[in-house]
Structure formats: structure tokens, C-alpha cells
Structure 1
Amino acid sequence: MTATLWSALATGLLSMLMLGDGLALNLLLVAIPATFGTYVAARNAGRQLRRWTVVWGVAGFALLAIPLLRDAGWPSFLALVAALGAGSLALHGGRTWTGMLFGPIGLFTSLVTGPAWGWRGLRARTGGARGNAGPVLRAVAVAVVLLVVFGALFAGADAAFAEILSGLVPDASVSDGPWKAVLLVLGVAGALAAAHTAAAPVQWDRVEVPAGRPRGRVEWALPLVVLAALFAAFNGVQLAVLLGGYDSVLEQTGLTYAEYARQGFWQLLMVTVLTLLVIVFALRWAPRDDTRDRTLVRAVLGTLCALALVVVASAVRRMDMYVDAYGLTRLRISVMAVELWFGLVIVLIMAAGVWGARWLPRAVMASAVAGVLAFGFASPDAMIAERNVQLYERTGTFDLDYARELSADAVPALDGLEEPLRSCALKTVAQELEDDDKPWYATSWGEAHARTVLDGKGVSPDADWRVCSRLGMELTYR
């Protein structure tokens, strides 16, 4: 318990000193003592380190590395949410759907019970004859005071020492004291919550969800067979379009190439979502009395899943067509990634129908975590910039206003544009990087790399708002 308390204190102090300036390497530094304290609490409680605990823990740390690599906030936010889910799975050890989905609830409730548990442990170790941490705490407090007092005096006596000290020590100014105090409390409470969850996890796997009442074969299978026939008809049309070419379809419908692509993507995305819901409810009410029933379930749902994969491929193809015509955006790349993940989930469901579904919950959650990791490591803002630069080179059209909204991750791709378009696209992010004075532990690799790129050429002073505004209009409506 003593090691856990010290780890919680270290987590709180690091949170107070580092997290107020942004998220990058500091997030990993804060997570290290919290993880150590959690591990110690779990071992003291008699829990063994299992394989899936390691998998979820490593995945959580990998997700926390996304803010270190990327300047864009939206993939970092997804990574933090996924890291919370992976951490919950590592602490609770869930393996069923209830364990996977309800695990974060236990983590949030520990934000109340964890600090109380830590307070009881602290009192047991600082009071009475059994207390052994009181002298150590007092010694640390005295040491901190001495460091602060004499460090301030030495910094005032020598400018070179003050410069070195300011680069190594996080800013702890009084002006943002309330926010620092909040970060301290949140860091300690979060570390104690994780440790308490690891020591006494809620067994969500033991929550039993009553099975649905099996339906008769006709009542269960007929609607799904009809739906599969509809899927087959739609996929047949898609195959005819693929073989006959899009030109004949466009002539018949009167749509443009991009309009045809845009018209169907969102509907097909919704079809994929509804198909997954239909499969979930169909499995709940599936007949399961004998071998013939189980064969019927596999045949009907397997066919539906196979046809749904064709729908997924059609949706992805339509979005790719639309991107070829109008360029890539954050929304378009996000929904395409989600659609691809839906396709992977369908494949996992098909595999579960062959090899059993015991492993399916973990596989689905692991695929979601892997997808968020791949999305962050791929640097979506950089992909958007690269694709749009390629579109400009091919068609001469370019959405300058949208390019200026991208993060520093897009700088290397935008740097290849010709002047004055290059300077117009990079002017906003260059100004932000110039004004940014975040410390080293809150600076992402994307920001550092962008600074390196911009230091080589800089931004042309001739690219003022008049030039850029006129250029943006010309390239958008060309």
C-alpha cells in the first residue's frame, strides 16, 4: 500500500507540473507512476498478471503515444478515449460483452471509492505505533522547501543557471495555481481509482444477461431470407455497374460522377450499421434446439454477412470516387475508417460462426483499439493534405481555406506546393508555431517536425490576406 500511495502522489505532482501546458510526452510520464502503483496494488491483492492484461496495458500505453506523435487534436482525443477503454479492460479483466461494455463504469465509481481507500491506507501508515510513513513524508516536505528556496536564490544569482533551471523545471507560477491544484487532485484521485480497481475489480463478467426466447424456424428465418434476397439484388446491380462501367449509369440517371458517389455512401453506411443490429437480435432469438437449427443459423447469417461485405466494399468505393472528385476531409476519412471497421467486425462475426463466439468480444474490442492506433499513427491530417495536393496537381482545384485549418501534421505535404499557394496554406500554422511557447514535454513530434520544415524555407511575406483570398477563390471555383 505504501508504494501505491507514493505512486499516487508522484502521479498527482507530475499532473500538476506538466499537464497544464498540453498533451505529448508528459501524458506518458504521468502514466508511468500510476501504472506502477496499480501493479503493486493488484499484486498485494493476490491478482496475477495475465496475458490479456498485458495486451490491454500495452495497447493503452501505445494509445497514449498518439498525442506525442501528432499535433492534430481529434485523433488524440480518440486515442485518449480508447486508452481509457483499454485501461478499464486491463484493470477489470473482462472477457464477455457485459465485462467489456460495463467495465468503464467500475472505473468511474472508483473515482469516489479509490481516494477513500487511499485515505484509510494513509492513516494506517502515519498514525500510532504502526505508522512508518510519517517521518518520510516530513523529510520529503522539508527537502522540497529547501529545493524551492535555494533554487530560487541560485537562479536569481546567476542568469545562466536560471536559464538551465527554467528549461528543466516545469512552470509552477502562482497565477494558474487553482488549475494546478485541480490537476494535482485529479492525478492523485485517478491513480488511486486505478489502483483500487486493480485491487478489487467489479466482476462484470458475472452479470448474467437472460437469453432471448428462441423463435421458430419460419418466424426467425423468413425475414432474414427476404433481407438477404434484397441484399443480393442490390449487389447484383453493383456488379452490373462495375462490369458495364459508370458512364452508362450516369447517362441513365443524369447524375455526375461525384453526385453518384455521394448519393449512396451515407445510405450504405446506415445499411451496414442496421445489418449489424439485425445480426445481434437474430442471434438472440435464433433457434438452437438441435444441429439442424444451428446449421440454419450459420447458413442464413453467413449469407447475410457475406452480402453485407459487398455493401461495405461498395460504400468504400463510392467514398473513394467522391474523394477523387472533391478531395479528402476529416469527416470523409473518419467515416471511411468506421465503415472499414464495420466490415472487419462482420468478418469476425463470420469467423465466430465457424470457430465459436467465446473469443468474439475481446476480438471486437481489440480491433477497435487497433483501428484507433492505426488511425493515429497514420496521421490523418497529413493524409488529407497529401491527397488534396495530389488533387491540385491533377485538376488545378484546391480548398485553401480548409488546408489552413489543418494542424502542423500537414506541413510536410503542404510544403510541396508552389508559391504563393504554399505560403498561403502554411501561414496560419506557421504563425501558431511561432507564437507557441510550450515546453519540451508538451510538444508533439508533429510540431517539432513542422518547425524543422518551416525553418528551411519560411513563409513568404508577399502572401498577405489579399493575395491568399484571391488565390483561394480562383482555385476553389476553377
Structure 2
Amino acid sequence: MKVPYSEYARRGFFELIAVSIISLLLLLAVEKYIVKKDENHARGFKIFSTALVIQVILIMASAFIRLTLYEEAYGFTILRFYSHAFIILLAAVFCLLLYKIYKDKRENAFAFRGFILIASFFVIMNFFNPEAFIARRNIERFSDTGNLDIFYLSHLSDDALPDMMKALDISNDDLRKSFARELYWRAQNSQSPYFSKWQSLNISRMRAEKILDSKIRELEGYKDYQQQDIDSEGR
């Protein structure tokens, strides 16, 4: 039976999560309750733990490739992006675990390094601007496949708006006009009292409003456009 891409990717990702958690807990428990009580087992444990970590990383690579195939088939989304990033984070955690086993066995030091790693991960994600990356990749993917999820693209956050504006230059006239319509109504909705509150103000929103205001006359011509060829991409 043919397995859909969506099931193939999801199953691989959740298998990875399950194996990673079990392996991490197993290695920590064995080191704490067995190896530290019997130094004769230390060398064998290091060999076993290294082999196990390598196997887990191979599973991570498999899950990473599955997600990549899924994205190539159906496009990029926030969830898929963070799934990729989470796999990389997991690999880094297991590298820290190996360092703990071989070099520094202090549990407090391992916990501190883990905290620094996770904090660094969130800082990097914040500066990386995932939604802008997703907008760029989906528009680039259009050049290869001719498919573009206009609805999803137009509903990315203000962080992505400068990059998503490039979709106004795509060759597919129907998708381009549909995207212009979505942007027009997005610009109109941004004028609502809810978005005018000072609590919702930020640099990205101010920049997005400036871009939309500069294009509003052009976009207004497509406000009532009806898409002719709706291409629903499976997920």
C-alpha cells in the first residue's frame, strides 16, 4: 500500500521523538545508577552509548530527509520549519550527552549546557526570521513546480511581508491576482481598531503597513478578483 507523503513524514518525526526520549533517559539512568557505582563498566558503557547515539542520529537524518521530501512536494510551513530545527536541536543535545559521558560527568554542568543550548536556539530562531525564510522558499519553489499556496503565503506574519511581496511578480497571472486580492484585504484589516492599539505596534507591523500603503492603489484593482484555477495542495 502506498503511504502518503504526509503520513510518511509525520510517522518518521514521531518515531524520532519516541526513540530520542527513550535513548536519552536510558543513557542518563544507566550512567547514574550503574556506571558510577562500578567503574569496571565505564569503558563498555562509553562504547554502548556512542553506538546508540550514532544510531539515534541516523534516525534523525532519516526524519530530516522525510520532512525535506514532504516540503518539496507540498511547500514550506512554520510547523515543518520548526520540525527541522527541532531535529537539529536534538542532535546537539545528544552531542552534549556524549561530551558528558566522555569528559565532564557532572550532572549540573550537563543541565547548564543544555539550558544554554536551548536559550541559544530560541535566540537564533528569533533573529533568523523563519516566516520570511518560508515565504522566500515557497516563492522559489514556484519556479520549479508552478505551485504556490497563496492563502498560506498571504497569512504569514508581518515579518515575512517584504519577502512575500515578490509573489506579485510571479508568472502565473491567476495566482498573482489572487495574491494581490489577499494583500488588499490584509491591508484593509490592518486598519481595524484592534490592530491600531498601541499594544500591537512593533517594527515589523509598521514596516508592513508602509509597504502595503505604497502598493494599495495597485492592489485595489484586484479586490474583487475571483480565482479561476484553485490548486489545493495536499498536506
| TM-score normalised by length of structure 1 | 0.42
Paired letter, 2:141: L
* Mapped contact 1:424–1:463 kept (Cα < 8 A): yes
Paired letter, 1:360: F
- 1:431 aligns with 188
Pair 1:456–1:475, CA change in 2 (3 A): farther
* Mapped contact 1:396–1:475 kept (Cα < 8 A): no
* Mapped contact 1:430–1:454 kept (Cα < 8 A): yes
1:338 aligns with 2:96: no
Q: Report deviation, 1:318.
A: 1.3
Pair 1:337–1:283, CA change in 2 (3 A): same
- 2:220 aligns with 461
* Mapped contact 1:404–1:428 kept (Cα < 8 A): no
- 1:405 aligns with 155
- 1:184 aligns with none
* Mapped contact 1:407–1:429 kept (Cα < 8 A): no
Name structure 2 gaps, 5 residues minimum.
Answer: 169-175
1:314 aligns with 2:71: no
- 1:391 aligns with 141
* Mapped contact 2:74–2:233 kept (Cα < 8 A): no
* Mapped contact 1:261–1:319 kept (Cα < 8 A): yes
Select 1:417's aligned residue among 151, 159, 167: 167
1:302 aligns with 2:61: no
Q: Report deviation, 1:255.
A: 5.0
- 2:172 aligns with none
288-297 or 377-386, which moves further after superposition? 288-297
Paired letter, 2:215: K
Pair 1:283–1:298, CA change in 2 (3 A): same
CA offsets per residue over residues 362-392 of structure 1, 9 Å max, x none? 1100111111111121122212222221222
- 2:173 aligns with none
Counterparts of 1:242-321 in structure 2, within 5 Å, are 254-255=2-3, 260-321=8-69
Q: Report deviation, 1:428.
A: 4.2
Q: 2:12, 2:180 → 1: CA distance? A: 37
Q: Report deviation, 1:289.
A: 3.8
1:450 aligns with 2:229: no
Q: 1:345, 1:383 → 2: CA distance? A: 25
Q: Percent identity?
A: 23
RMSD, aligned CA:
2.6
* Mapped contact 2:97–2:110 kept (Cα < 8 A): yes
Pair 1:429–1:274, CA change in 2 (3 A): farther
Name structure 1 gaps, 5 residues minimum.
Answer: 1-252
Q: Report deviation, 1:290.
A: 4.3
Pair 1:343–1:375, CA change in 2 (3 A): same
Paired letter, 1:356: D
2:220 is paired with a residue whose SS is coil
1:365 aligns with 2:123: no
Q: Report deviation, 1:476.
A: 4.2
* Mapped contact 2:178–2:226 kept (Cα < 8 A): no
Counterparts of 1:24-423 in structure 2, within 5 Å, are 254-255=2-3, 260-358=8-106, 359-418=109-168, 419-423=176-180
1:463 is paired with a residue whose SS is coil
Q: Return the index of the structure with the highest Cα Rg.
A: 1
* Mapped contact 2:181–2:220 kept (Cα < 8 A): no
* Mapped contact 1:398–1:475 kept (Cα < 8 A): no
Pair 1:264–1:370, CA change in 2 (3 A): same
* Mapped contact 1:382–1:410 kept (Cα < 8 A): yes
* Mapped contact 1:269–1:315 kept (Cα < 8 A): no
Q: 1:291, 1:276 → 2: CA distance? A: 21
